[in-house]
């Protein structure tokens, strides 16, 4: 595997891996692909934090946050707000894009 070079690369890899996640569950999203599609319509949806462990191995914590509007869809993108329902997932990966099994796909509904 090619090492991840940037935050944007990390987010793209996390989205691809999220789509394939058979264990995804949420009251607001019917499936992982539905969640990832909503990420593309949510402003400031994603964030990645890079860290190193004691052996100098690089790890990424990728936060994916999708918001759904509580008003009917008007065909425009919406912004995350307090009135919007949201779902956040944490994807923990190594620098080569391998999911860290102890921390992968932690979910939090807001």
| pLDDT tens profile 5-44 | 889 999 998 898 888 877 777 777 888 888 888 888 888 8
CB atoms within 10 A of CB 48: 20
Among 85, 89, 43, which residue's Cα sits nearest to residue 64? 89
CB atoms within 10 A of CB 101: 8
Whether residue 20 contacts residue 32, with contact meaning beta carbons closer than 8 Å, is answered with yes
Q: How far apart are CA 39 and CA 106, in angstroms?
A: 16
pLDDT exceeds cutoff 50 at 57: yes
Q: How far apart are CA 94 and CA 98, in angstroms?
A: 5
């Amino acid at each position: 595997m090619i090492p991840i070079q940037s935050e944007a690369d990390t987010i793209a890899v996390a989205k691809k891996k999220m789509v394939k996640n058979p264990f995804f569950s949420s009251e607001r999203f019917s499936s992982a692909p539905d969640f990832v599609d909503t990420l593309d319509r949510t402003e400031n949806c994603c964030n990645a934090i890079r860290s190193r462990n004691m052996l100098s191995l690089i790890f990424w914590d990728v936060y994916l946050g999708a918001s759904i509007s509580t008003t009917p869809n008007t065909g425009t993108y919406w912004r995350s707000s307090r009135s919007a329902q949201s779902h956040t997932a944490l994807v923990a990966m190594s620098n080569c894009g391998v999911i860290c099994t102890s921390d992968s796909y932690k979910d939090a509904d807001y």
